[in-house]
Amino acid sequence: MHTESLFKDHINQQQREWMDALDRCGCADHAVLIYSGKLHYHFADDHAGTFRAWGHFLRWIPVDRPDFFVLLRAGHTPQFLPVLPNDYWHDQHLDLPEWWASAFDIRPLLSVADLGKALRDAGVRADQLIFLGEDEQLAATLGCNTDQVNPPKLLTWLDYQRAYKTDYEVHCLADASALALTGHQAAHECFLAGGDEYAIHMAYLQACRVLDSELPYNNIVALNANGAILHYQHKKRFTATHTHKPDNQVLLIDAGCRWHSYCSDITRTWCAPHTQADFQALLAGMQTLQLAIVDEIRVGTSFVELHKLTHAKLAQLLIDSRLCFGSAEQLLAKGITRAFLPHGLGHLLGLQVHDVGGRLADPYGNFAPPPPEFPTLRTTRAIDERMVFTIEPGLYFIPVLLDALRSGADAGLLNWPLINELLPLGGIRIEDNIWVGPQGVHNLTRRPLMQGS
Ligand SMILES: [Mn+2]
């Protein structure tokens, strides 16, 4: 299906869902103004950080620009109110591709100060306006009382619903995944050719033809032991004058792309041909484990249960690969698998990498906290049709967590000589993006999305 018709259906569906949400919150007669957000300047500086529009705004307008607004009213075409100032310092030109622009009644403004007039022209009364977005002061200047600004009941409802993707959104997410894979391939080649973290990162960007600032999150490009630092943030550079250029044995790369603001989030771990054989076998074991977990996904499966199953399979892998002794039950009961896998199995994916609503039990604002033994699990919802999420098991040699076991009462359950040998190799994570479609579970990272699927 063509992007334009997919987007039109998406906007129509949004309009129905948002009007339904207003109705349920007792404000069906209200208009809603959604704010993309404003620039945030560094302290005592005239430079701002990279701007990222708010997710609920991006669901309507696929453009990351500050001071853009969408006005929704029952029975009206949604209005798009972009502030486009007369400014000779920046490019204020706005591309309006027909495929999305035709869904809106577009009314450009010269300044945020013109917003009040635009609302009056549209016939919106201040006491019947709901303001959604970051600037409560701006909302006050428009005449909104505090209960008209970001009403929690409405926001919770919208957050919960955002887990259910329209066909347009699924296609954007699939394209974001496909684009990132071209970068992952280039990164793998650069790693095998001996590139350092910086070179691998640049190879990724160049293959995807993206800027750093356009990425959904900072790429994690970790060679060898750095793979055990879960959110490793550097890209180390080596020059010809360095005498200790690292030996590329393992690359853990966690990198995504955005497509019309929808994110992909993909992790791959690669070994070089000369990497220690036990680590290579462990990587093969984790690849099998990750696909086995994806195979378990059904509509109605609890994400918490899937996370627990991952730990059960990990316990068996630790025993099979001689990293641990005893039984799987013993390792689970003593929390030993948690030292090797301290993060959650995955999270909802959409306009934010860790998309909203992962811990909502229902659309009414009740929370479903993760079990106490797994506090870092970001998703506790039951898997449902139209959801998109990641499945990303890992196995790491994290010194600070292993040291606690080494000096603890259960130290005898671990094979320390082998662990010590593998510590310099960091760790393993394999992460795919999964869509639960009407025809079943679809791994967007392994299979391109076919038309009509
Ligand atoms: Mn992730």
Residue ranges of the chain that CATH labels 3.90.230.10: 167-443
Q: Please give the pLDDT value at position 298.
A: 97
167-443 belongs to CATH 3.20.20.70: no
**CA 274 to ligand 1 centroid distance, Å:** 29
Question: How far apart are the CA of 92 and the centre of ligand 1, in A?
Answer: 34
Q: How far apart are CA 295 and CA 292, in angstroms?
A: 5
Please name the residue ranges forming H helices in 209-301: 277-295
Please give the distance, rounded to the nearest whole angstrom, from the Cα atom of residue 130 to the centre of ligand 1.
33
The distance from CA 311 to its chain's CA centroid, rounded to whole angstroms, is: 22
CATH number of 3-161: 3.40.350.10
**267 CA distance to ligand 1 middle (Å):** 8
Please, which contacts does 42-49 make with residues 24 or more away whose CB atoms are closer than 8 Å?
none
Give distance in angstroms: CA of 435 to centre of ligand 1.
Answer: 14
The pLDDT of residue 240 is: 72
Q: How far is the CA of 37 from the centre of ligand 1 (A)?
A: 25
Residue 430 Cα to ligand 1 midpoint, Å, equals: 10
Q: What is the 3-state secondary structure (H, E, C) of 230-260?
A: CCCCCCCCCCCCCCCCCCCCEEEEEECCEEC
Question: Distance from CA of residue 215 to its chain's centroid?
Answer: 11
CB 65 within 8 A of CB 53: yes
Q: What is the pTM of this model?
A: 0.96
The protein residues having their C-beta less than 5 angstroms from ligand 1 (an ion) are: 265, 390
Q: What are the DSSP E strand ranges found in 316-437?
A: 388-391, 394-396, 427-429, 432-437
User: What is the dihedral sign for C-alpha 363, 170, 429, 354?
Assistant: negative
Q: What is the pLDDT of residue 243?
A: 67
Confidence at residue 58, expressed as pLDDT on a 0 to 100 scale: 98
pLDDT value at residue 246: 73
Ligand 1 centroid from CA 354, angstroms? 7
CA angle 447, 306, 352 (to 5 degrees): 60
Quote the ligand 1 centre to 142 CA distance (angstroms): 39
Cα(446) to centroid(ligand 1), Å: 16
With beta carbons less than 8 A apart as the criterion, state whether 381 and 356 touch.
Answer: no
* Beta strand pairing call for 129-132 and 220-223: unpaired
Please say whether the beta carbons of 141 and 42 come within 8 A.
Answer: no
For CATH 3.40.350.10, the residue range(s) in the chain are 3-161
Alpha carbons within 13 angstroms on the beta-carbon side of residue 193 total 10
pLDDT in tens, the chain (453 residues): 689 999 999 999 999 999 999 999 999 999 999 999 999 999 999 999 999 999 999 999 999 999 999 999 999 999 999 999 999 999 999 999 999 999 999 999 999 999 999 999 999 999 999 999 999 999 999 999 999 999 999 999 999 999 999 999 999 999 999 999 999 999 999 999 999 999 999 999 999 999 999 999 999 999 999 999 999 999 999 877 776 677 999 999 999 999 999 999 999 999 999 999 999 999 999 999 999 999 999 999 999 999 999 999 999 999 999 999 999 999 999 999 999 999 999 999 999 999 999 999 999 999 999 999 999 999 999 999 999 999 999 999 999 999 999 999 999 999 999 999 999 999 999 999 999 999 999 999 998 776 544
Question: By CB neighbour count within 10 A (0-12 exposed, 13-18 middle, 19+ buried), where does 29 fall?
Answer: exposed
Q: How far is the CA of 225 from the centre of ligand 1 (A)?
A: 20
For 370-415, the pLDDT digits (tens) are 999 999 999 999 999 999 999 999 999 999 999 999 999 999 999 9
Which helix (H) or strand (E) segment holds residue 113: the answer is none
Concatenate the DSSP letters of all residues of 134-156 into one string.
S-HHHHHHTT--GGGBS-HHHHH
Å from CA of 392 to ligand 1 middle: 7
What tokens does 129 get?
Answer: 């306006």
Cα of 428 from ligand 1 centre, angstroms: 13
Query: Ligand 1 centroid vs 376 CA: distance in angstroms?
Result: 12
In 209-302, which residue ranges form alpha helices assigned H by DSSP? Answer: 277-295
Beta strands of 205-315 (E only): which ranges?
A: 220-223, 250-255, 258-259, 262-263, 266-271
pLDDT at 449: 78
